Structure 1
Amino acid sequence: MDGTAAIERNLEALKRILVMLVAMAGMGVEKLGAGMPGAGSLGAGSLGAGGQFFFFPRKGAAASRQVLAEKSKLSPALNPALTLPRALYLAILRLLRPAEAAARRLIIAAARGIVVKLPPLRPRKPKPEMLRGPRAFMPKGPKKRPKPAPRIRSLSLLDPLRRPFRVRRRPVPAHAAPRILGLDFNAPYRPLPPPPSSDDPIDAVRLGQRLAALTAALDDLPGQAKRFARWQARRDAALAQGSSGTSRLRRLSPLRRGRPPGGRLSRYDPVATHPGKIREVDEILAHAHALAVYALDRPDTS
């Protein structure tokens, strides 16, 4: 089974969905630009040539802020005031989660047959000796540490695990909390806050980072496949050394059991008819999941 054509077809479909998500995020920023401080300089987002992710400023912004975010530079330090309306934020998140899971499975399918050689482990640095005598009481001069570069987030290669014993707290919202008044009748009356609205601004910095990470992964699928092959090699090495106790193993499989995260289809069937609630990204995710399961169950050892 050669899944190269299927991987390429699903990859192009995921890129179309990603362009739609970036456009939705740009529209939301444009909508809130007039009313939110700091967000007025943000314009529409787009996916440039080569899969690069940008947020462009409006006319009149400083020339130094012409590119506020790229796929490798999108961080809270560069854009601390990125917000989206609540309804739009949730709509993007409902599509982004299955798109990330589908991209993860395409990476696993593309890594089939890739063999990598891990570099030798670096020896641990010995601990510095304790200073003795007068030197132990001498103050050390200030160390000038270089400013770290913005962290580049990568798409996770592992599915988030389910937490069946997690206790979800359901706090009572402020607008529905009981009113407990004191005996001081001269105290000013404080009305209850209004209930949450679909137009409330939500911090979307993390969402933008996830979009940038997904863009980078779809733009460099062979590189991400080699990255997954290195993870497999480290897992196999940890399994080989597990008996000696020198290595700790965390995950055996990159996929979690059951339905993929965010998906609405349990299996891929190209000839089946689906109801209206099944989206295009659900079909892509189901097909990519089948390709990933095949690649993990039948590795290419030739």
Structure 2
Amino acid sequence: MDGTAAIQRNLEALKRILVMLVAMAEMGVARPGTEGLSDGGVGAGSTGAGGVGAGGQFTFFPRKGAAASRLARVEKSKLSPALTLPRALYLAILRLLRPAETAARRLIIAAARGIVVTLPPARPRKPKPATLRGPRAFLPKGPKKRPKPTPRTLSLSLLDPPRRPFRVPRRAVPAHAAPRILGLDFNATYRPLPPPPSPDDPIDAARLSQRLAALGAALDDLPGQAKRFARWRARRDAAIARDGAISRRRLSPLRRGRPPGGRLSHYEPGATHPRKIREVDEILAHAHALAVYALDNHDTS
């Protein structure tokens, strides 16, 4: 079974879905001091010239020899992070982004089949300084210079989020449905309850934009991400060989059961599905089958 063609076909489909998600975000981005939809829209962000649209924070960089509408890499611009999206649009993007991230993770695992990497030798640990004794222990120490924090870049996780079977769900009464207990003070100031959440409420989209950028970077560099997964697999095997059964590392990057965010439990080529099954669900089911096959038939020779 050679899954190169299937991986490439699903990769192109995920890129098309990513472009659609970015276009949805471009249409709904709202900055402080603006109302309604942004003026730039999709056209300003998808010009293909590498500029930033007037209404959003995403830029399309088409690859050479490919159409800008199908093969594009999404990067986060250096605009203000105080960009928001309406609640309904934010949740709609999130419902498609999660299965797209899971499918990309499985395509990376499938592409890493047969890749063998050699880990560099472990760095020797620096010995801890001995505790000062005698009169020197009471001498004042100079101020410590804290290094400047480097900006963190979000990368696509190679491991599925673990299940939490013992997590107790939070049961809290929403603020707009709380009981009105004013007490015995009749002169107390009456404070009305906050209104219920509206689909048009602004939601911070900084984290969402980082996830879209991380997904775009992973889809644009699938071979590099496959080598990254091969290094993780080599580190896991080395830890298991060193510690044995007591190793605390995860044994499998995939969690049991249905893939996170997916609506199909298994892949059936040519099968008809109900309307609730989306294109990203079929891509995720196929990518999951490719990843399971790659993990079961990994050649380390």
Indicate the TM-score class for this superposition, using the shorter chain for normalisation: 0.7 to 0.9
Could you tell me which runs of 5 or more consecutive residues in structure 1 were left unpaired when the two chains were aligned: 56-66, 70-78
Q: Contact 2:32–2:82 at 8 Å: present in 1 too?
A: no
Q: What per-residue deviation string (whole Å, max 9, x for no partner) do you get for residues 64-111 of structure 1?
A: xxx426xxxxxxxxx441221111111011000000000000000000
Preserved CA contact (<8 Å) 2:32 2:83: no
Alignment CA distance shift 1:147-1:52 (3 Å): farther
> Which residue is 2:214 aligned to?
213
3-state SS of paired residue (1:128): coil
CA distance 1:136–1:48, change in 2 (3 Å): same
Matches of 1:52 and 1:140 in 2, distance apart? 50
User: One-letter code of the match for 1:68?
Assistant: K
Whole-angstrom CA distance in 1 between matches of 2:209 and 2:33: 16
Equivalent pair of 1:98/1:285 in contact (CA under 8 Å)? yes
Q: Which amino acid aligns with 2:74?
A: F
Q: Unaligned 5+ residue runs, structure 2?
A: 41-52, 64-71
| Paired residue secondary structure (1:84) | strand
Aligned AA for 1:11? L
Which one of the candidate residues 55, 65, 84 is aligned to 1:43?
Answer: 55
Do the aligned residues in 2 keep the contact of 1:29 with 1:42 (CA within 8 Å)? no
Task: Give the whole-Å Cα distance in 2 for the aligned partners of 1:119 and 1:53.
Answer: 32
TM-score by length of 2: 0.85
Q: Aligned in 2, Cα 1:295/1:54: closer, same or farther, shift over 3 Å?
A: closer
User: What is the deviation of 1:181?
Assistant: 1.2
Per-residue deviation, 1:35: 4.6
CA pair 22-32 structure 1, distance change in 2 beyond 3 A: farther
1:276 is matched with which residue? 275
Residue matched to 1:82: 83
For the residues of structure 2 that align with 1:165 and 1:153, how far apart are their CA atoms? 28
3-state SS of paired residue (2:281): helix
Matched, 1:53 2:74: yes
User: Alignment RMSD, CA only?
Assistant: 2.2
Question: What is the number of residues matched between the two proteins?
Answer: 277
* TM-score calculated relative to the size of structure 1: 0.85
Query: Is residue 115 of structure 1 aligned with residue 127 of structure 2?
Result: no
Give the match's secondary structure for 2:243: coil
Instruction: Measure the CA separation in 1 of the matches of 2:148 and 2:27.
Output: 34
Alignment of 1:1-302 (within 5 A): 1-30=1-30, 34-35=34-35, 43-44=55-56, 45-50=58-63, 51-54=72-75, 67-68=77-78, 79-243=80-244, 248-302=247-301
Q: What does the per-residue CA deviation read over 1:196-250, in whole Å, with 9 as the maximum and x for residues that have no partner?
A: 10111112222111111111111111111011111111111122122496xx332
| Aligned residue in 2 for 1:62 | none
Residue 10 of structure 2: SS of its match in structure 1? helix
SS in structure 1 of the partner of residue 298 of structure 2? coil
Q: Percent identity?
A: 79
Give the counterpart letter for 1:21 in structure 2: L
Shift of 1:148: 2.1
The answer to whether the Cα contact below 8 Å between 2:266 and 2:289 also exists between their aligned partners in 1 is yes
Moved more, 4-13 or 140-149: 140-149
Q: Which amino acid in structure 1 is aligned with residue 112 of structure 2?
A: A
Q: Which amino acid aligns with 1:283?
A: E
The one-letter code of the counterpart of 1:107 is: I
| One-letter code aligned to 2:4 | T
SS, match of residue 10 in structure 1 = helix
